[in-house]
Structure 1
Amino acid sequence: MSTSSLRRAVHESVSGLPRAFWWLWTSTLVNRLGAFVATFMALYLTIERGYSASFAGLVAALYGLGGAVASIGAGVLTDRLGRRPTMLAAQSSTAVLVAVLAFVEHPVAIAGVALLVGMAASASRPAVQAMMADIVAPEDRVRAFSLNYWAINLGFALSSIGAGFIAEYSYRAGFLIEAVMTMACAVLVFVKLPESRPDQAPTAAGSTAAPSVHLGTVLRDGRFMALVGLSVLIGLIFQQGSVALPVAMGADGFSSGDFGLAIGVNGVLIVVLQIPVTRFIARRDPRMLLVVSALLAGYGFGLTAFAGSLALYALTVAVWTLAEVVNAPVQMGLVVRLSPTHGRGRYQGVYSLSWSVGSLAAPLIGGRVIDEYGAAWLWGGCAAVGTVAAVGYWGLMRGLPEGPEAETTDSGDEAGTGSGGEAAKAKPKTVSGPPERDAQPAG
């Protein structure tokens, strides 16, 4: 690719998005630059504190349980109180709790604070995703989600490598750095981001008011809940990268710095590939993209059973990273597509719950399987789960209209009273893939 072509591709990828999006993007980047706890908790407990893989899995599971509990409540607060206050409360609480986690030593205290950190850290996710859907035009949403995911992984790549070496010096220092960076995010939100929650549109005389969206509405949306279930399976696989992978590498004699380098491949590749791959998949069949991403995730982790060197571990990370690059923008676009405008917080909360459930179940499963049967059985299980998810995505996407995706509206069967696909057919708006500028994508 020539310099001029590269410059044009970058310009097409970043131009035309509102200023508020870039402040939200910056907040995401700052937050991920300070990421430490979720990535290095397993190593901290097994190497620094000398606990078993099962205990490390239990603590990580409590972290995930906190996220699961918070996701639903945060989704409701996002719709009722607004996106901005929810983010402020979540991020400031996370900063304080992570600082506390740096100093607690008793195992019960570590487990309890980890639960609270999981709650606070996950509470901002529905608000961030709902605000992004609010402020970005439908045709630009997949591009926006891709750029945000790119920021997450740019920060993750830098923090993983740096934090790996910080951990060799002091785990406590890493915890305190995360606390400071998270508080910086809260300050940035407070200073730069206005509230974006849509006003309820007035009802014309003689027309029927749009039905309100409650949690029951979301839970009865059959197609959407199927997507949530598949997201749980994918989350179970990906969470092994921060739970089972460091434990397995530690058992093979690798240091925290080695793990930081291996897992850093994930962030580096996403930084390099996310934008060009998003442009590439813009006009591809989303069903095939989701199927392929599930297979890459499952079999990428499955290949870890054959890794015996740092280079081979890094290679397996590269394989399942390709799954993330494809899955993230396509699946987020589908979530927004199936979510009614005035129920975005609740829908995003339930969707976030899927990842929290993965965070809860993955460490319990991973730690137990490693302790009882060995890591090879866990990696084989990941391949099996990826296959099941691929079949599920194929079935989920059947019956959805081809071509430009339709965004769910706040009228009629909007929230999916059992299918979700019916809702998607009302008021079509472009919400697919990223961008050539003459046919902009969305999410």
Structure 2
Amino acid sequence: MSVASLRRAARESVSGLPPAFWWLWTSTLINRLGAFVATFMALYLTLDRGYSASYAGLVASLHGLGGVVSSIGAGIMTDRVGRRPTLVIAQTSTAFAVALLGFMTDPVAIAGVAFLVGMASNASRPAVQAMMADIVKPEDRVRAFSLNYWAINMGFAVSSMTAGFIAQYSYLAGFLGEATLTLVCAVVVFLKLPESRPQRSAVERAAEPEIGMGTVLRDGRFMGVVGLSFLISLIFQQGYVGLPVAMGTDGFSSSDFGLAIAVNGVLIVAVQIPLTRYLQHRDPRRLLILSSLLAGYGFGLTAFAGSVAVYALTICVWTVAEIVNAPTQTGLIVRLSPLHGRGRYQGVYTMSWSVAALVAPLMSGYVIDHFGAQWLWGACAVLGTVAAGGYWALMRGLPPQAPAAPAAAAAAAPVASKPAAAPAGAPVEGCAGSVA
């Protein structure tokens, strides 16, 4: 592909999206530039504090448990109160909790505050995904999710390389840096993002039943996707809980891990946009099957790694799985979610990742301590194979994507055309600004 073709592909990938999307994208980028806790918590506890891999796994699991607790509540809050206030509350709370965590020295206190950090940080996810679905047209959503994922990993690539070296001198500086940038995210959301929650008309309320948690849990195909999402997340979590501990056990430093894992973000930054146009027009079933196999066997290859270069090579394999899986699966979740229940559906979907964040550290810590890291990587290969089979079975007969509903179009149009004219932080015409 020529340079001109790459430029044209990049230009077409970023054109036509509403200004509100780009403010949300900016907030995501700032947040990931400060990522520290999720990446370096295991190394902080094992190398700096001297705790065992099992204790590090316990703390990471409590962080995940906090996310499980907040997922459903944040999803309901996103539907009832609105996307914007949920984001502001979640991000502000995260900033203060992360800063507090950096000053904790007692093991019980560290575990308790890690639980609070997990609750606060995870609460923003249903609101972000629901707002993105609100403001972007259906045919552009996979592209928008790809660009948002690109921002996540561009920030992650930068933060991994810098935070790895910061950690060698002061872990506290890393905690305070993440807290500051998360607070900046809350300010961006408060000042620049209007509320996007679609408002139900009286006719819609009369014609359609209210969507509650029972509606979500009875949706068989959606819950099947949630279950498969859990398996995929269980695999990907090992890049941040199992991999750093395994590398530390092999004698590698925090900066070695930082350089190796930065390959993940750099590769996504390099190829996500060129692949965006390809992904949005392909069969999601095939893409999800392929990504599941690449994730499982990419981590499986880690059993043969003995140097930073080989670790980086295995990271390249499962990174390709991330590039394919993330926008495809997020787009599928939005496709299966009703307009006025997006927050609840996204909350349950987010919970699958939170439960995986709870289980994965316990799994990795126990397996590494009692059997060795090679067994952990073999288990990842098995899970990837099971997930691929699940996607093959579950997505047979998936109906084609329906065109945008009039209500969705009415909700998205003002965001696309008027955000610059609206006062900072003011609700956009046609979107609800009060509690339903």
1:37: which partner in 2?
37
1:10: which partner in 2?
10
CA-atom RMSD in angstroms: 1.4
Q: Retained in 2: the 8 A contact 1:53–1:367?
A: yes
2:346: which partner in 1?
348
1:387: which partner in 2?
385
Deviation at residue 408 of structure 1 after TM alignment: 8.9
Deviation at residue 317 of structure 1 after TM alignment: 0.4
Q: Retained in 2: the 8 A contact 1:298–1:385?
A: yes
Structure 1 runs, 4 residues or longer, greater than 3 Å off: 407-411
Output the amino acid matched with 2:2: S
Q: Retained in 2: the 8 A contact 1:338–1:408?
A: no
Equivalent positions of 1:81-160 (< 5 A) are 81-160=81-160
Q: In the aligned structure 2, how far is the partner of 1:114 from the partner of 1:163?
A: 19
Q: Retained in 1: the 8 A contact 2:137–2:404?
A: no
Q: Retained in 2: the 8 A contact 1:341–1:410?
A: no
Equivalent residue for 2:301, pick from 290, 303, 307: 303
Percentage of pairs with the same residue? 73
Q: Retained in 2: the 8 A contact 1:95–1:182?
A: yes
Q: TM-score, normalised by structure 2?
A: 0.91
2:402: which partner in 1?
406
1:164: which partner in 2?
164
Deviation at residue 9 of structure 1 after TM alignment: 1.1
Equivalent residue for 2:243, pick from 242, 245, 249: 245
Is the alpha carbon distance of 1:407 and 1:38 closer, same or farther for their aligned partners in structure 2, counting shifts above 3 Å?
Answer: farther
Q: In the aligned structure 2, how far is the partner of 1:26 from the partner of 1:57?
A: 32
Output the amino acid matched with 1:274: Q
Which secondary structure does the structure 2 equivalent of 1:283 belong to?
Answer: coil
Output the amino acid matched with 2:214: G
Which secondary structure does the structure 1 equivalent of 2:202 belong to?
Answer: coil
Q: Retained in 2: the 8 A contact 1:340–1:410?
A: no
Q: TM-score, normalised by structure 1?
A: 0.90
Q: Retained in 2: the 8 A contact 1:340–1:408?
A: no
- Deviation per CA, 1:157-182, whole angstroms, max 9, x where unpaired? 00011100000111000000000000
Deviation at residue 3 of structure 1 after TM alignment: 3.1
Q: In the aligned structure 2, how far is the partner of 1:111 from the partner of 1:282?
A: 41
1:317: which partner in 2?
315
2:261: which partner in 1?
263
1:227: which partner in 2?
225
Q: In the aligned structure 2, how far is the partner of 1:49 from the partner of 1:202?
A: 58
Output the amino acid matched with 2:151: A
Is the alpha carbon distance of 1:409 and 1:211 closer, same or farther for their aligned partners in structure 2, counting shifts above 3 Å?
Answer: farther
Output the amino acid matched with 1:373: F
Deviation at residue 362 of structure 1 after TM alignment: 0.2
2:330: which partner in 1?
332
Which secondary structure does the structure 2 equivalent of 1:203 belong to?
Answer: helix
Q: Retained in 2: the 8 A contact 1:149–1:328?
A: yes
Q: Retained in 2: the 8 A contact 1:141–1:333?
A: yes
Q: In the aligned structure 1, how far is the partner of 2:311 from the partner of 2:164?
A: 16
Q: In the aligned structure 2, how far is the partner of 1:383 from the partner of 1:352?
A: 23
Q: Retained in 1: the 8 A contact 2:138–2:404?
A: no
Is 1:19 matched up with 2:15? no
Is 1:179 matched up with 2:179? yes
Q: In the aligned structure 1, how far is the partner of 2:320 from the partner of 2:372?
A: 26
- Deviation per CA, 1:275-307, whole angstroms, max 9, x where unpaired? 122222333221111101000000000000000
Output the amino acid matched with 1:215: M
Q: In the aligned structure 2, how far is the partner of 1:298 from the partner of 1:144?
A: 26
Q: Retained in 2: the 8 A contact 1:293–1:327?
A: yes
- Deviation per CA, 1:298-321, whole angstroms, max 9, x where unpaired? 000000000000000000000000
Output the amino acid matched with 1:296: L
2:72: which partner in 1?
72
- Number of aligned residue pairs: give it: 407
Which secondary structure does the structure 2 equivalent of 1:398 belong to?
Answer: coil
Q: Retained in 2: the 8 A contact 1:76–1:349?
A: yes
1:418: which partner in 2?
none
Q: Retained in 2: the 8 A contact 1:87–1:124?
A: yes
Which secondary structure does the structure 1 equivalent of 2:70 belong to?
Answer: helix
Q: In the aligned structure 1, how far is the partner of 2:12 from the partner of 2:37?
A: 35
Is the alpha carbon distance of 1:410 and 1:387 closer, same or farther for their aligned partners in structure 2, counting shifts above 3 Å?
Answer: farther
Q: In the aligned structure 1, how far is the partner of 2:405 from the partner of 2:397?
A: 19
Q: In the aligned structure 2, how far is the partner of 1:142 from the partner of 1:253?
A: 41
Which runs of 5 or more residues in structure 2 are unaligned?
408-436
Q: Retained in 2: the 8 A contact 1:337–1:407?
A: no
Q: In the aligned structure 1, how far is the partner of 2:96 from the partner of 2:339?
A: 33
Q: Please say which of residues 268-277 and 368-377 is displaced more in the overlay.
A: 268-277
Q: Retained in 1: the 8 A contact 2:143–2:280?
A: no
1:358: which partner in 2?
356
1:437: which partner in 2?
none
2:63: which partner in 1?
63
Q: Retained in 2: the 8 A contact 1:342–1:410?
A: no
2:420: which partner in 1?
none
Deviation at residue 208 of structure 1 after TM alignment: 5.3
Q: In the aligned structure 1, how far is the partner of 2:406 from the partner of 2:52?
A: 50
Q: Retained in 2: the 8 A contact 1:75–1:346?
A: yes
- Deviation per CA, 1:128-179, whole angstroms, max 9, x where unpaired? 0000000111111110000000000000000011100000111000000000
- Deviation per CA, 1:377-420, whole angstroms, max 9, x where unpaired? 0000000000000000001111113xx52369799xxxxxxxxx
Q: In the aligned structure 2, how far is the partner of 1:69 from the partner of 1:314?
A: 34
Equivalent positions of 1:269-288 (< 5 A) are 269-288=267-286
Which secondary structure does the structure 2 equivalent of 1:253 belong to?
Answer: coil
Q: In the aligned structure 2, how far is the partner of 1:148 from the partner of 1:30?
A: 12
Output the amino acid matched with 2:207: A
